[in-house]
Amino acid sequence: MGIKIGKIAIDSPVFLAPMSGVTDQPYRRIVRKQGPELVFSEMIASKEMLHSEHSGIRKLKTNCQLEYPLVVQLAGWDPKDMALAAKMSEERGAAIVDINMGCPAKKVVNKFAGSALMQDLNSASEIIRSVVNAVSIPVTLKMRTGWDSKNRNAPELAVIAESEGIQMVTVHGRTRCQAYKGEADWSFITQVKDAVKIPVIANGDVKTVYDAQKCIKISGADGVMIGRGAYGKPWFLNHVTKFLEMGKVPLPPSLTQQKIILLEHLDLMMTHYGFENGARMARKHITWYTKGLPLASASRQRIYSSKNLTSLTNEIESLYENALERMAA
């Protein structure tokens, strides 16, 4: 089941996707603790990193060696900036650099970065070549199937990427114009798989262990990358890995175990960001973890109003205690 990325051997073919505002250091650490071997950083704009802008530095505020093997994902349109940012990532201990040519966000594509580069394969090739030549660690590439339904050129870009030294490609099964609408086209990914010899990873709409199995079967991919399916479920990637290995669906953590994981996640966030920023950024995670729990909506308002970590912890403890009592009644 393992995958080799350059000289780096990865035992599990299940990867955590790079997600802006989600896959920060605290989230990566809590996911890694559950079992997955390879995780990706948030997308980092190359110019932000080079010019020491706050968000760029914050996103790479980590000891990459402690998270080894960590993949640092970079986005940008300038080959020189991308090469320098890749070199900086390597110097900070990144095991792999991933080039983002899949982000559909307007603020990214309007700068001719992310999935906009799929409209200009010459520019894409130049960026890939610059990054590969700048570092000694493996370089990978994440893309979409194409810009729109009439221009699904992922196989062509994959061939170019492989010829320039890319060691693995990940394909999200939608076009840029789809964003996250409709369904991911796993079957199209077979065309990418057939076009190259390097590992191909399928991404998009993997929300259950059965989705992962079906995605690999339909796409022929060497593995899956999971993003939104892991919201509030950092154990999900490990469950997918075990299911693919043994064919049995692992039992989910008990509510008590889920509470412990959430509290540890929050503690990591407060340590990383400080309470004020950490509590604000934790809101989406709390919503995902507690979705479907009895009285969760009402409890969240009290949780979000907490003035310190002790108060926040007490409110979450109370929410889970009430949920356990109601479910036992």
pLDDT tens digits for range 34-58: 877 788 999 998 888 887 654 444 5
pLDDT at 52: 65
Domain match, 7 and 99 both: yes
Cα 101 to Cα 80, 90, 124, 131, 152, distances in angstroms: 16, 20, 8, 13, 13
The parent domain of residue 322 ranges over 255-328
Q: CB under 8 Å to 61, separation ≥6 — which residues?
A: 25, 272
Domain match, 186 and 315 both: no
Cα 200 to Cα 86, 195, 219, distances in angstroms: 22, 10, 9
pLDDT in tens, 8-36: 999 999 999 999 889 999 999 999 988 77
Among 219, 246, 273, the domain-final residue is 246
pLDDT in tens, 65-83: 678 889 999 999 999 999 9
Domain match, 273 and 214 both: no
Domain match, 79 and 202 both: yes
Q: Please say whether the dihedral angle defined by the alpha carbons of residues 167, 128, 190 and 246, taken in this order, is positive or negative.
A: positive
pLDDT at 56: 45
Distance CA 229, CA 57 (A): 27
Phi, psi (rounded to 5 degrees) for 2: -70, 165
Among 187, 219, 246, the domain-final residue is 246
Domain match, 238 and 262 both: no
**How does residue 328 score in pLDDT terms, banded at 50, 70 and 90?**
confident
Domain match, 211 and 275 both: no
Q: CB under 8 Å to 40, separation ≥6 — which residues?
A: 15, 16, 17, 18, 23, 70, 71, 72, 73, 98
Per DSSP, helices labelled H in 3-120 are 25-34, 46-50, 54-59, 79-91, 106-109
Counts of helices then strands in the chain (DSSP H, E): 14, 10
Domain match, 182 and 293 both: no
Closest CA to 132 of 101, 93, 163: 163
Distance CA 227, CA 204 (A): 8
Token output for 187: 């079957």
- DSSP letters along 260-313, please? HHHHHHHHHHHHHH-HHHHHHHHHHHHHHHHTT-TTHHHHHHHHHT-SSHHHHH
pLDDT in tens, 205-242: 999 999 999 999 999 999 999 999 999 999 999 999 99
Give the number of domains in the chain: 2
Q: Please say whether the dihedral angle defined by the alpha carbons of residues 218, 35, 96 and 26, taken in this order, is positive or negative.
A: positive
Domain match, 174 and 268 both: no
**How does residue 298 score in pLDDT terms, banded at 50, 70 and 90?**
confident
Whichever domain contains 98, its CATH number is 3.20.20.70
Of 64, 103, 177, 215, the catalytic one is 103
Domain match, 127 and 265 both: no
Domain match, 296 and 279 both: yes
Domain match, 57 and 31 both: yes
pLDDT at 40: 92
Q: Is 177 a catalytic residue?
A: no
Domain match, 75 and 188 both: yes
Whichever domain contains 270, its CATH number is 1.10.1200
